[in-house]
Amino acid sequence: MAVLQSPSQGNKANNPEVESPQHNKLEEGSKKLGMHIEDIFTDYINRTKIKLKRTLSGAGHENQHASSGKDKFTDYIDCGKVKLRTTSSVGGSVSCDAKTTPDLPVLQNTLIAMESIREASQRIARISAHLQPPNSQTEESCVLKRADCRAKGGAPGFKVAILGAAGGIGQPLAMLMKMNPLVSVLHLYDVVNTPGVTADIGHMDTGAVVRGFLGQPQLENALTGMDLVIIPAGVPRKPGMTRDDLFNINAGIVRTLCEGIAKCCPNAIVNLISNPVNSTVPIAAEVFKKAGTYDPKRLLGVTMLDVVRANTFVAEVLGLHPKEVDVPVVGGHAGVTILPLLSQVKPPSSFTPEETENLTKRIQDGGTEVVQAKAGAGSATLSMAYAAVKFADACLRGLRGDAGVVECAFVASEVTELPFFATKVRLGRRGAEEVYQLGPLNEYERVGLERAKKELAESIQKGVSFIRK
């Protein structure tokens, strides 16, 4: 058997730069760790008289121990009467193929020893990524090239990219996503200030490995291999500015970013925050259609802030903790298109006509309330980041296969005659796997729905026309 290699050894030929003393120490330490485990395993094999042959299959790897997320180890074990073949991916599950009943204690110990080698290789990769300080201007200096790292104490997590990570929403969003145990790799992209944000967040003692990407030339590297892409990119609202005023600027930004997604990670779940969501989601859909990668289930406009506000404001009226309240919010994500269904509040509650009017109005104008309170110093960045992370966590739980993950989102829909509509959806491995109907509405909500659909139709068409023109 060959001695295990660290990730830095496998990349040496492609990195002509002079190695630092810290890098040399890491490489020397990884060699010793690999040799130590190798000796233990070899001794175990000799004592148990087990014959082992290992092969590695994977794209573009000739070295037996240079591995990627797609690599598979195939071990041929001869335990005398038992001939066993096991196949496993790095950090993944093990499958066995035996023609006779194996000696289970011997087999179990053998597989444990084999897994120890794999775990050691992954530890070396994680240590290597953290001990060599990255050049924040470019992702090329990162030692850990593959996403086979793990969040501390947990199973392998997901790869998440935030596009617009240095902005008012992006920075707190990035910090909160770094804290999520379901995230193993976090890519931060923006056209300015990404190095500082990456260095700052990268010092947090949580499991996710953070990499920064700066400017258009690095967009593709930021997106390659991502499971979830969150887009808060764009200019913020200012006093007197409507969401529609944002359109001409943010529409072009969203188009460029979605073209990158279509090229580099077409199967990723996309959480679109950039306003006006009622128009940017149709823009993204048209971009993906042109690229031939459109999957309506994977494109979700984030309207979670409307739900968060509704839960908060209704809880105040009912005298409950917001966590005990669930208010469906349907329609869109701007003004009168935001329609809280107070008749469907959980726990079941009744409101006076005045309470219904005041609550609905405050939920619809929540963004304006914050913009005015900040007096020109920003918009609802912190609450939006919180809501975005809450929704992203739901998407990650869906990707993990958790059952019963239901949230509101602005998605392709047949609930109404409109091509897009916000309603409750069930999240799964493919995104919005089920779109729920509106349910029974009272008279106030039926009137509000018609008003919302009229404005929503115009916003959707505006987004579609931006790409088709």
pLDDT at 385 over 90: yes
- The answer to whether the beta carbons of residues 157 and 227 sit under 8 Å apart is no
Which numeric CATH code is attached to 139-300? 3.40.50.720
- The answer to whether the beta carbons of residues 112 and 136 sit under 8 Å apart is no
Q: What is the pLDDT of residues 151-160, one digit of tens each?
A: 343 347 999 9
Mapped onto helix, strand or coil, the DSSP state of residue 185 is strand
Mapped onto helix, strand or coil, the DSSP state of residue 151 is coil
Rg over CA atoms, the chain: 26
Mapped onto helix, strand or coil, the DSSP state of residue 314 is helix
- pLDDT category at 93 given cuts 50, 70, 90 is very low
CA distance 298 to 427: 10
CA distance 246 to 308: 23
Which DSSP string do the residues of 402-454 spell out, in sequence order? -S--EEEEEEE-SSSSSSEEEEEEEEETTEEEEE-------HHHHHHHHHHHH
Q: Which are the contacts of 397, defined by CB distance < 8 A and separation ≥ 6?
A: 182, 405, 427
Please name the residue that has the structure tokens 């869109």. Answer: 332
- Domain residue spans of the chain: 7-131, 139-300, 304-468
- pLDDT category at 42 given cuts 50, 70, 90 is low
Strands 183-190 and 209-214: parallel
- Please indicate whether residue 187 is annotated as part of the active site: no
Phi, psi of 68 (to 5 degrees): -135, 180
CA distance 406 to 425: 6
pLDDT at 139 over 90: no
Helical axes 366-373 vs 304-318, angle rounded to 10°: 90
Least confident piece of the model among 349-353, 368-372, 413-417: 368-372
Q: What is the pLDDT of residue 401?
A: 97
The β-bridge partners of 85 are: 76, 97
List C-alpha distances in Å: 458 to 278, 368, 455.
9, 21, 5
pLDDT at 40 over 70: no
Neighbours of 175 (CB within 10 A): 17
Q: What is the pLDDT of residue 204?
A: 97
Strands 420-428 and 406-412: antiparallel
Q: What is the pLDDT of residue 12?
A: 40
Alpha helix locations (H) across 49-163? 104-131
Q: What is the pLDDT of residues 201-216, one digit of tens each?
A: 999 999 999 999 999 9
Question: Which pTM does this prediction carry?
Answer: 0.70
Neighbours of 421 (CB within 10 A): 25
Q: What is the pLDDT of residue 69?
A: 41
Mapped onto helix, strand or coil, the DSSP state of residue 193 is coil
Token pair of 184 as six digits: 């193993």
- As to burial, measured by CB atoms within 10 angstroms (0-12 exposed, 13-18 middle, 19+ buried), residue 81 is exposed
pLDDT at 433 over 80: yes
Please name the residue that has the structure tokens 């775990």. Answer: 119
- Largest Cα separation within the chain, whole Å, is 82
Peptide bond into 276 cis (omega under 30): yes
> Backbone dihedral region of 400: left (phi > 0), alpha (psi from -120 to 50 degrees) or beta?
alpha
Least confident piece of the model among 113-122, 140-149, 183-192: 140-149
Token pair of 33 as six digits: 């760790």
CA distance 450 to 455: 9
- The answer to whether the beta carbons of residues 240 and 404 sit under 8 Å apart is no
Q: Which residues of 281-315 are buried (b: 16+ CB within 10 A; e: fewer)?
A: bbbbbbbbeeeebbbbbbbbbbbbbbbbbbbbbbb
Which numeric CATH code is attached to 304-468? 3.90.110.10
